[in-house]
Each structure stands twice: as structure tokens, then as C-alpha cells.
Amino acid sequence: MAAIIKKEIVKFAPKGNDSFYDVVKSRVNDYFLSNNISPYSNSKMYVKTAAMLAMYFVPYIIIVTGIASVNIWLFYALWLLMGLGIVGIGTSVMHDSNHGAYTDNKGVNNFLGGVLNILGGYAPNWKIQHNILHHTYTNIEGLDEDIDAGKGLRMSPEKPLKPFHKYQHIYAWGLYCLMNLYWIVAKDYKLLFRYSKNGLLQNQKLTLRRALIELSLLKVLYIGYIIVLPIMFSGVAWYHVILGIIAMHIVAGFSLAAIFQPAHVVETSDYSAPSDERKMENNWAVHQILNTADFAPNNKLVCWFIGGLNFQIEHHLFPQVCHVHYPKIAKIVESVAADFDIPYQVMPTFRSALVAHGKMLKKLGNSEKL
């Protein structure tokens, strides 16, 4: 596998015959075939989809109809619930759909994946950053943009160490709260110019001009329904609306970071870098498992709410399998990894995953190399 970033090519080692990836794919495929199960969504996923969409849109309807104006605390609680709705839609519905994992119907996947567009984001950008860059080049500095949080955070040992990084394990959590706000205000535009320059936007069959027009129209639509309509019809002062929106995005930003970062930015991550010839030592599948960790596998609430993304190893190896199947195939992946003597990292609880992420931030903030 390879990608063009700043006109450089990075290649993974060949997988070889009867490789870990061959075996794990074969056994997972056998699981679906022998049990006559589709790797796509099922009735449980349909119920979850309805619940996640309702978590965002029902509170919004209550807000704009003025019903929540009777109690300001109810008004703010509804915005906070919408923040959780963003998380649920983002980790379950939109995420699976944009991976092509929700269904084998491309139109349905595009429709549900496009829900991101009305949550303040832009689906083509997300597909490039997440599907192409993050999923291919996990934890590789300069390629995986999920570990690029600007100068404020050092999430890779290959990134220059600054004096203030010494405290990043403390202030990172505050920055995570601002992540969603930054994304909807500025990041999408920055990504468009970067991806156009690197030839990645064209791979999505988009010109920069068309993408800028689409993105700008979507931002206008977003501002219209999330700010203007509540100010006009909610029955509360405009500043309460603005504070409610900020609170919603703080909940969403912090929660999404708390879900995604502990899966990769932890002490067990390999962080292997390409050689001077831009070649990786390991093949793609081994690289994925060495730079990813599962967490809270037995917590049913966590598994349900965050779209199975606590089974991040399984997701990276099988991104086109709906997440409702991850708890079952995790046993297969762990078994095959043991057969090939590949470390399979699992943190027992969500709390332990957050603690592990905090420890890694501290380590990266205090040492040039791991």
C-alpha cells in the first residue's frame, strides 16, 4: 500500500504467503459464512441508528419549538444531549456508513454517511483523513493526521519536542473540548487546500473549487439551522443559544477524543517510522495491530454507545465490517495474533484506557524518543 504525501511514497513490506492477514481474513470470513451472517448491519444496528439520530434531532426540535424555554436548565440539558447525539451518530451511524460497512448498498451508505454534512462537517474530508490516511498510515508522523494536533500536542516521538509539551498530559483534555469547534469553524477549509495540493482531493473526484462551494453552502446551512432558527424560535435569549451550542460541541469534542485517542496514543503503540527509502519494516496488517489497542471489551454500554470502536484492532483490520460484529470476531483476531506471536493489546476498562493515554501524553511530553 502507498500514498502520495508531499510527493513522497511510503510502502509497507509485502505480506508474504500464509501471512497473519491471510489467516485472520480467512477465519473471519469462515465465521460469517458458517453462521450465515451478513458482515453488514442487522436489526440491532437499525434500532441503534434510530436511537442515535433521535438523540440529536429530537432535542433540537424541542428547542426550536420553544418548549424548552420554560426552564433554562432543560434548555441547556437538551444541547448537552445533542452533543452526545453527535458522538453516537459519529461513532456508529456515520462512521460505519462512510466505511461502506453499514450496508452493501452504496446509495444508503452515502446517504447515512452524509449525515456528517449536517452536523457541521464535510464527508469527503473525513473519508480522506480517516479512511485513507489514518487507516493506512496509523501512527506514522506526517501521514496519519489523527495524531497531528498542531504544535500544542505531541502525539508522536517523531514530532519535535517543545518545552510546553511537558504539561500536555494536563492541558490536552482542555484542548480536546475545543476539537469539534475548531473542526466546524476552520479545519475543514484547511484540509481542503492541503488535500488539493497533495492530490488527495482529486481522488475523491472533486475539484478544489467544487469542494469549496459545497463546503461553504453546507456551513451556511449549518449556521442557519443550528444558530439562526434557535435564536428566532427557541424563546430564550440569543446568548443562551450560543452558550448551548458551545456546550454541545465541548461534549462532542471531548468525548470523541476520549474514544479515539486511547486506541492509538498509548505506551504499547509501536510508532514505527519509514526508512530513508520510505519503506516500512512490517506489512500493513502487522503495523495496524502493533499500533492499535482495544479497551473495555466487556462493557456493554461502552460497546453499544461508541459503535464498537473500543474494538479498534478489529475495526482497523476489517473496516468494512459493521461494528456490531466486532465482539465476536475479536476472539478470532486475538487467537490468530497469538498463533503468529503478535502482541494483541487490550485494556480492561474505559477508565484504564484514558489513564494509559494520559501516561503516554506525559511520556511523549518529557522525552525525545520512546
The domain locations on the chain are 4-366
Averaged pLDDT for residues 217-242: 97
Q: Where are the beta strands (DSSP E) in the chain?
A: 4-5, 8-9, 294-295, 346-347
Averaged pLDDT for residues 64-71: 96
Query: Quick one: pLDDT at residue 15?
Result: 79
**CA angle 204-278-336, nearest 5°?**
80
Confidence of residue 132 (pLDDT cuts 50, 70, 90): very high
Maximum distance among all Cα pairs of the chain, rounded to whole angstroms: 67
Averaged pLDDT for residues 128-154: 93
Confidence of residue 139 (pLDDT cuts 50, 70, 90): very high
**Grid coordinates representing 104?**
452493501
- Give the lowest-confidence range in 81-95, 198-212, 228-242: 198-212
| 18, 29, 52, 82, 155 from 23: Cα distances, Å | 6, 10, 35, 42, 32
Query: Quick one: pLDDT at residue 8?
Result: 57
Query: Quick one: pLDDT at residue 356?
Result: 97
Query: Quick one: pLDDT at residue 4?
Result: 44
Query: Quick one: pLDDT at residue 7?
Result: 42
Averaged pLDDT for residues 293-303: 96
Check whether 74 has a pLDDT greater than 90: yes
The identity of residue 325, as a single letter, is H
Check whether 6 has a pLDDT greater than 70: no
The identity of residue 145, as a single letter, is E
Task: Using the CB atoms, write b or e for 312-328: b if 16+ within 10 Å.
Answer: bbbbbbbbebbbbbbbe
Q: Which span out of 12-16, 42-46, 276-280 was modeled with the highest average pLDDT?
A: 42-46
Rounded to an integer, what distance in angstroms lies between the CA atom of residue 205 and that of residue 229? 34
Instruction: Report the residue count for the chain.
Output: 370
DSSP state of 280: -
Cell 500544542 found at:
152
Averaged pLDDT for residues 146-175: 94
Rounded to an integer, what distance in angstroms lies between the CA atom of residue 61 and that of residue 58? 5
Query: Quick one: pLDDT at residue 17?
Result: 72
- Sorted by sequence, the CB contacts under 8 Å of residue 59 that are 6+ apart come out as 78, 79, 81, 82, 85
Query: Quick one: pLDDT at residue 204?
Result: 84
Averaged pLDDT for residues 77-106: 96
Start-to-end C-alpha separation, the chain:
26
Q: What percent of the chain has pLDDT over 70?
A: 98
Q: What percent of the chain has pLDDT over 90?
A: 88
Check whether 101 has a pLDDT greater than 70: yes
